[in-house]
């Protein structure tokens, strides 16, 4: 059996009200079918506030049954869509809800699903993205094998165990990194940076050491200096 | 830093050169289509005396583009124009001698005086807070300007807000006195002023149960004290258009009279300061309308009798008298209704012109009446003029100026405004000039490529015999020496086509349209909201052809064609002459809206459907009987087709032939259409797919698959998509040899949202920018921007993986200041370098579409902008600059390198320097060398279109709004053309020298070798 409390991912959500609930609905949709109303799929429990907001997806009692019904309905229908909707707190009109769709044919082979709830700047959810995975790169329906029989299809829509819920807040545009004004003193004058020391000021000690070394160094022997003089003369 | 200076130097090298100004670009200034709904703003002649005693005439007009303009009557050039701010609508102007006074803003909040010959703003006065201005319907109601009479000509009397009269100084605009009606809450709205030497009369209407009652107040012009005031028993049903005050400047002793129409009778009332006199009635006929033709100060107006005949009525000391009836002016199926207009000559005598269209002769006719001629008996001179109704629609307004060079001879000049927005000057039956002011209101435009020039060929070459061919070729061979000389000269001197030369054709225009060597010359096809389609030569801005949109069945009831989209359905690459489809909405005057498609040849303007002659109006095809929701261009194997979605989401395809239908059916399963749905204020983005099956109507009906509502405080303001240009590289190789792969989701659309227009303005309202996957509704990027007092002014452009947006930030944060900002955002695949996801071919259903890493940086922008657009080139290799129309009425380019979101905050490392990244600087340099429009004033630009040339390095830029401006830019310099300064002779001489050296050295070497063999 799968866990009724799906494993979750949390995201920074500073403004979200603590412990509020959102209802997520679902249905199977195909243009040739009469438009079915959405059925409740889960409740999104949000607890905590700020960075610690945690979202729990509490599945509804009828979830597994609904899936079984959907599987039966989707049988033989090409391009049937599995739609997930976020209930609008102020609007009972289902056409006004945020709706996200995936191809129903991807559901049987899916091993993970993800919900992304988008929040506005005040932390109120307004939209929902729903994905199942894995989905082939071209998004095409998997080709049905010869062995797949009609009888086994109702079991194909199994609830997906690996569910991720992400809350996403809008970003704000980056701010231009302005140049910092020069620091000023209490009198309002710009602080003058300390003047860089001159070469002598910095390295006088080495010069002194060198000078001392030269001064106190034993004077070279007479012959040696004479020899050097000859050598140079020979060079010419 | 050194690198930064270097880059700046490089930037200077790419700037506009003075020798290119006016050669590679052109600019057409316009004033806009004249406002005709009110006499106080419609075109009028104005003659002012110059210092040398001569007088010059201009046509003054306030326009729909909110411009006050003066055209020279002689040649139609723009003498001057004054651009009013968008929230400061011109509601009235009045001329006198050397000045023009205007009232603008709600209730006439601003008063300005201009010099009438040069357009200098002499004074500007704010009469009241625009927020307290009363909005009237029509806008000009409750406002008026009158100049003081002869002795008091330094005064101007200004009526604003329907109840405030001020006397202002003509020179300084200083207020001398002001009078406000004591009971402002009453239903009296004053609307007219008449200044007499001793009294100022104010005429207003009081609203009573079913009609209006006259209300008159007389004031002292010196002090502004009320002399008398009161209601006068009258029952006026048509409002102020049929009430006016008559006086006679040539006969100042005559008391002015108020004239109005009441139940078919012209009634008048003599104005005296004490307002005590009885009204009188003009007898003799039942009148339908009375019309002030602009001669109320000369005591004349036109009354139309029950059968449509026009009569001139004059104010005389004895009262009102009918002095003339225009012959054959009764309503008739032979001719259109008459337009009456009044004007004066140099001496100040009044003339009244009657202009009408004769259906049988297909000519326009004008009758000009002069009451003072023929010894005071009145004289009418008539002429017909060949007005081209197929090209300019119908005449909407006439202004007249007349001259009387000798007795019994009247010369009239007519300034016509047509329904297509043209302003024309006719002197008798000669067209003096014509201005296409409708071009100030372009709705959609496209740049269309031209075919290659055709080489002269003998058409009968296939049939000619062998001997004839030999003879012809021998004959042709006589030109060979000249050809050879030319070839050598061209080869040596290198006089090839230059990229900085004009591509305009020479004076003889007999050659068919063809492109130049580099593809700089194109046809700009533009459709205006005044029902006209133009083909404009991009080389010089000349109009090549123009067509008037036909109204179809709505011609019976009248209507308007509003262009919505334009698509190039056939290009020269397809082999034949290019074609353009314009998708329009026809709003008939009976309230029905239809979607009509017009299909033309872009080179000639001919109807590509062959349904209408080129001299006639262009007939369209009604593709949808109802409004259009969205239209797209579909590129299929069978060519290009236009797909329209109606309000029931039915899919219509044009052309409706089998090829297009089959091509559509083939790509139906892959179509994902995001549409704006929902009522205004709660608009959302809804994704649609189209099923393979058709409904019983024979059409496919799209069905919604996903829905993206925005937060309740936001409504969709704009949707922008990525231009469908080629992408040269799918990644960016960094300095450290890793690669960032561009996020190139083909379904990406941008959405700008803002507070609903219905919501009260509040500072907490926010604007947002979204990047949405249009195939599934996934939000890829969402950022919230501050609004300015509840208004959003966000401009954004998306190209490849690069989003640039501009906004005004009025929030002052820590180390931040208010100002215009531009944010540059780049999207890359995956979550880091070398994370390749092949997003360009990824299905929207895959979760990997959300795997995006965002690089963004903000810069301070020098000023506000009207629109921005990236450059485009034929292969997308050249760097993309951003072209901006700024608030200073300039078109300016901003290099991509300054807007790169990866500019390092510190000194660039060797690796970053290798990528040519320059150090971050918060302020984008406002480089005047990059103002593409140099000294032109490119006013009120609404959109900029960029289009590739044949040269990869060059992008063509066309800006339209009030003015038209065209230029070309080379963001990475013209790397694919030899520079102008390239020394070709030197190269030739070097090669020739080397060849000579080889020729000399070769026998020497051969001899040497031979000798070596012989002796070794």
Residue boundaries of the structural domains of chain B: 327-420, 440-453+479-504+514-626, 713-861, 983-1016
pLDDT tier, B814 (very low <50, low <70, confident <90, very high otherwise): confident
Reported confidence tier of residue B186, pLDDT bands at 50, 70, 90:
low
Q: In chain A, what residues touch B689 (CB-CB under 8 Å)? A: 79
Q: What is the pLDDT of residues B391-442, one digit of tens each?
A: 899 999 999 999 988 888 899 999 999 999 999 999 989 999 999 999 999 9
Average pLDDT over residues A205-228: 74
What torsion do the CA atoms of B467, B470, B472, B473 make, to the nearest 10 degrees?
Answer: 170
Q: What is the DSSP letter of A13?
A: B
With an 8 Å Cβ cutoff, is B821 touching chain A?
Answer: yes
Q: How far apart are CA B191 and CA B208, in angstroms?
A: 17
**Sign of CA pseudo-dihedral A32, A37, A40, A44:** positive
Q: Which two tokens mark A77?
A: 């229908």
Nearest CA in chain A to B704: A31
The pLDDT of B27-39, averaged and rounded, is 93
**Judging by beta carbons within 10 Å of its beta carbon (0-12, 13-18, 19+), is residue B427 exposed, middle or buried?**
middle
What whole-number distance in Å separates Cα of residue B739 and Cα of residue B828?
Answer: 10
A195–chain B nearest CA distance, Å = 22
**Distance (Å) from the C-alpha of residue B938 to the closest C-alpha of chain A?**
30
d(CA B359, CA B294): 28
Which pLDDT score is estimated for B50?
Answer: 77
Radius of gyration of chain B (CA): 34
Q: Which chain A residue is nearest to residue B690, measuring alpha carbons?
A: A31
Interface test with A, best of B782, B806, B817 (most A CBs within 10 A): B782
> Residues 684-723, chain B: which have Cβ within 8 Å of A?
687, 689, 691, 693, 703-714
Residues B37-67: pLDDT tens digits? 888 899 999 998 877 778 889 999 999 999 9
Report the candidate in B618, B611, B746 with the shortest Cα–Cα distance to residue B672: B746
Closest CA to B665 of B636, B627, B697: B636
pLDDT, mean of residues A16-29: 73
**Mean pLDDT for the stretch of residues B658-679:** 88
Question: What's the pLDDT tens digit per position in B305-358?
Answer: 988 899 999 988 888 889 899 988 888 888 888 999 999 988 889 999 999 999
The alpha carbon of residue A106 is apart from the nearest alpha carbon of chain B, in Å, by 10
Contact A137 B905 (CB under 8 A): no
- Residue-level pLDDT at B150: 62
Q: Residue A232: which pLDDT band, with cuts at 50, 70 and 90?
A: very low
Whether the per-residue pLDDT at B455 is higher than 90: the answer is no
> So what's the ipTM on this one?
0.83
Instruction: Indicate the burial class of B119 (C-beta count within 10 angstroms; 0-12, 13-18, 19 or more).
Output: middle
Q: Tell me, what's the pLDDT at B126? A: 92
Per-residue pLDDT band for A16 (boundaries 50, 70, 90) equals very low
Q: Kindly report the backbone phi and psi dihedral angles of residue A184, in degrees, each rounded to the nearest multiple of 5, phi listed first.
A: -120, 155
Q: Give the residue-averaged pLDDT of B537-556.
A: 92
Q: What are phi and psi of A228, to 5 degrees?
A: -65, -40
Per-residue pLDDT for A111 more than 70? yes
Predicted confidence at residue B8, as pLDDT, reads: 44
Residue A83 or A158, more confident:
A83
Q: How many CA atoms lie within 13 A of B890 on its CB side?
A: 17
pLDDT at B635 over 70: yes
Per-residue pLDDT band for A48 (boundaries 50, 70, 90) equals low
Q: Tell me, what's the pLDDT at A153?
A: 44
Q: Which segment, B233-237, B467-471, B881-885, is predicted with the most confidence on average?
A: B881-885
Query: What residues in B contact A123, CB-CB < 8 Å?
Result: none
pLDDT band at B375 (very low <50, low <70, confident <90, very high): confident
Is the model's pLDDT at B458 over the cut of 60? no
Q: Is A189 helix (H, G, I), strand (E, B) or coil?
A: coil
Asked, as a colleague might, if the bond just before B138 is cis with ω within 30 of 0, I would say: yes
pLDDT for B5: 45
Higher confidence at residue A6 or residue A79?
A: A79
Is B351 in the A-facing interface, judged by CB distances under 8 Å?
no
Give me the mean pLDDT over the B643-657 stretch: 91
Nearest to B815 among A96, A173, A178 (CB): A178
Measured in angstroms, the CA of A151 and the nearest CA of chain B are apart by: 28
- Do the chains contact at B712 and A100, CB–CB below 8 Å? no
Residue in chain B closest to A119 (alpha carbons) equals B711
The pLDDT confidence band at residue A21, using thresholds 50, 70 and 90, is: confident
Neighbours of A88 (CB within 10 A): 18
CA distance B725 to B706: 28
């Amino acid at each position: 059996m799968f866990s009724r409390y799906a494993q979750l991912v949390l995201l920074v959500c500073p403004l979200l009200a603590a412990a509020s609930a959102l209802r997520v609905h679902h249905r199977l949709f195909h243009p040739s079918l009469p438009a079915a109303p959405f059925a409740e799929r889960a409740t999104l429990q949000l607890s905590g506030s700020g960075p610690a907001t945690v979202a729990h997806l509490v599945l509804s009692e009828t979830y597994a049954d609904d899936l079984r019904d959907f599987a039966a309905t989707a049988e033989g229908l090409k391009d049937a869509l599995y739609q997930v909707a976020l209930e609008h707190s102020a609007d009972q009109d289902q056409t006004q809800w945020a709706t996200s769709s995936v191809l129903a044919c991807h559901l049987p082979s899916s091993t993970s699903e993800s919900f992304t709830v988008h929040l506005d700047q005040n932390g109120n959810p307004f939209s929902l993205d729903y994905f199942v995975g894995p989905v082939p790169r071209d998004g095409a329906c998997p080709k049905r094998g010869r062995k797949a029989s009609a009888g086994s299809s109702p079991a194909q829509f199994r609830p997906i165990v690996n569910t991720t819920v992400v809350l996403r807040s809008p970003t704000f545009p980056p701010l231009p990194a302005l140049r910092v004004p020069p620091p000023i003193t209490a009198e309002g004058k710009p602080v003058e940076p300390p003047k860089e020391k001159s070469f002598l000021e910095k390295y006088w000690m080495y010069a002194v050491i060198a000078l001392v070394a030269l001064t106190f160094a034993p004077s070279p022997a007479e012959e040696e200096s004479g020899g050097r003089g000859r050598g140079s003369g020979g060079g010419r | 830093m050194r690198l930064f200076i270097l880059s700046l130097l490089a930037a200077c090298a790419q700037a506009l050169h003075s020798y290119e100004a006016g050669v590679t670009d052109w600019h057409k200034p316009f004033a806009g289509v004249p406002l005709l709904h009110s006499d106080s703003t419609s075109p009028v002649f104005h003659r002012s005396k110059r210092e040398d005693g001569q007088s010059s005439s201009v046509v003054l007009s306030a326009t729909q583009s909110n411009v006050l303009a003066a055209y020279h009557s002689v040649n139609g050039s723009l003498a001057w124009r004054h651009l009013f701010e968008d929230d400061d609508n011109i509601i009235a102007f009045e001329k006198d001698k050397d000045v023009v006074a205007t009232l603008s803003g709600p209730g006439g909040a601003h008063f300005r005086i201009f010099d009438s010959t040069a357009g200098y703003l002499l004074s500007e006065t704010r009469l009241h807070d625009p927020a307290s201005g009363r909005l009237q319907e029509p806008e000009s109601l409750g406002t008026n300007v009158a100049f003081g009479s002869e002795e008091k000509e330094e005064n101007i009397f200004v009526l604003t807000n329907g109840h405030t009269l001020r006397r202002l100084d003509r020179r300084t605009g200083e207020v001398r006195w002001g009078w406000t009606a004591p009971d402002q809450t009453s239903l009296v709205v004053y609307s007219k002023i008449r200044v007499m030497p001793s009294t100022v009369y104010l005429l207003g209407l009081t609203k009573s149960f079913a009609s209006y009652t006259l209300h008159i107040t007389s004031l002292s012009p010196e002090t502004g004290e009320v002399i008398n005031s009161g209601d006068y028993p009258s029952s006026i049903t048509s409002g102020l258009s049929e009430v006016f005050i008559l006086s006679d400047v040539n006969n100042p002793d005559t008391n002015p009279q108020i004239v109005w129409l009441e139940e078919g009778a012209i009634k008048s009332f003599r104005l005296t300061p004490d307002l005590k006199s009885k009204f009188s009635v003009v007898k003799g006929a039942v009148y339908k309308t009375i019309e002030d033709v602009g001669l109320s100060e000369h005591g004349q107006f036109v009354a139309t009798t029950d059968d449509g005949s026009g009569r001139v009525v004059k104010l005389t000391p004895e009262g009102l008298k009918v002095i003339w009836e225009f012959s054959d002016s009764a309503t008739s199926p032979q001719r259109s209704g008459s337009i009456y207009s009044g004007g004066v000559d140099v001496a100040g005598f009044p003339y009244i012109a009657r202009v009408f269209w004769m259906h049988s002769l297909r000519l326009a006719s004008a009758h000009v009446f002069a009451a003072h001629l023929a010894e005071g008996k009145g004289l009418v001179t008539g002429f017909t003029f060949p007005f081209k109704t197929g090209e300019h629609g119908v005449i909407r307004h006439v202004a007249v100026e007349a001259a009387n060079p000798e007795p019994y001879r009247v010369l009239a000049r007519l300034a016509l405004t047509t329904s297509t927005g043209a302003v024309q000057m006719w002197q008798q039956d000669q067209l003096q000039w014509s201005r296409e002011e409708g071009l100030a209101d372009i709705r959609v435009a496209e740049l269309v490529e031209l075919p290659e020039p055709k080489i002269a060929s003998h058409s009968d070459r296939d049939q000619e015999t062998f001997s004839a061919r030999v003879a012809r070729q021998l004959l042709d061979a006589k030109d060979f020496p000249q050809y050879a000389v030319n070839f050598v000269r061209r080869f040596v001197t290198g006089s090839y086509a230059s990229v900085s030369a004009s591509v305009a054709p020479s004076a003889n225009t007999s050659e068919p349209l063809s492109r130049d060597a580099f593809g700089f010359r194109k046809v700009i096809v533009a459709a205006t909201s005044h029902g006209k389609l133009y083909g404009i030569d991009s080389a010089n801005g000349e109009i090549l052809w123009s067509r008037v949109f036909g109204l179809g069945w709505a011609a019976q009831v009248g209507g308007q064609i509003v262009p919505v989209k334009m698509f190039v359905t056939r290009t020269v690459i397809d082999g034949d002459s290019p074609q353009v489809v314009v998708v329009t909405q026809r709003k008939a005057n009976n309230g029905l809206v239809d979607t009509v498609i017009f299909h033309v040849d872009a080179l000639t303007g001919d109807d590509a459907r062959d349904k209408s002659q080129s001299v006639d109006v262009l007939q369209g095809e009604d593709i949808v009987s109802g409004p259009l929701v969205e239209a797209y261009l579909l590129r299929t194997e069978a060519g290009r087709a236009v797909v329209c979605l109606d309000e029931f989401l039915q899919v219509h395809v044009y052309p409706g032939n089998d090829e297009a239908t089959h091509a559509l059916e083939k790509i139906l399963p892959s179509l994902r259409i995001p549409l704006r749905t929902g009522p205004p204020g709660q608009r959302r983005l809804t994704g649609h797919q189209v099923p393979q099956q058709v409904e019983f109507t024979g059409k496919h009906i799209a069905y919604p698959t996903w829905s993206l509502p925005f937060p309740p405080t936001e409504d969709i303001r704009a949707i922008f998509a990525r231009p469908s240009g080629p992408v040269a590289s799918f990644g960016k190789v960094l300095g450290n040899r890793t690669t960032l792969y561009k996020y190139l989701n083909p379904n990406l659309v941008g959405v700008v949202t803002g507070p609903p227009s219905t919501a009260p303005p509040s500072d907490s309202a926010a604007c947002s920018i979204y990047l949405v996957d249009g195939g599934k509704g996934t939000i890829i990027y969402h950022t919230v921007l501050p609004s300015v007092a509840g208004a959003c002014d966000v401009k954004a452009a998306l190209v490849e993986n690069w989003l640039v947006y501009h906004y005004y930030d009025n929030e002052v944060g820590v180390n931040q200041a208010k100002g215009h900002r531009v944010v540059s955002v780049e999207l890359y695949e995956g979550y880091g370098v070398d994370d390749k996801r092949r997003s360009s071919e990824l299905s929207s259903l895959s979760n990997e579409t959300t795997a995006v890493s965002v690089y963004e940086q903000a810069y301070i922008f020098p000023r506000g902008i009207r629109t921005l657009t990236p450059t485009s080139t034929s292969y997308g290799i050249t760097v993309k600059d951003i072209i901006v129309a700024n608030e200073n009425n300039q078109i300016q380019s901003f290099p991509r390198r300054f807007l790169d979101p990866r500019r390092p905050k510190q000194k660039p490392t060797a690796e970053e320097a290798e990528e040519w990244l320059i150090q971050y600087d918060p302020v984008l340099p406002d480089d005047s060398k990059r103002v593409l429009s140099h000294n032109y004033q490119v006013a009120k630009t609404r959109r900029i279109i960029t289009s590739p040339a044949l040269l990869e390095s060059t992008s063509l830029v066309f800006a339209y709004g009030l003015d038209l401006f065209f230029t070309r830019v080379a963001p990475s310099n013209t790397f694919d053309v030899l520079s102008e300064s390239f020394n070709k002779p030197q190269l030739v001489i070097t090669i020739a020298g080397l060849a000579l050296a080889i020729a000399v050295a070769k026998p020497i070497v051969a001899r040497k070798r031979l000798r070596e063999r012989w002796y070794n």
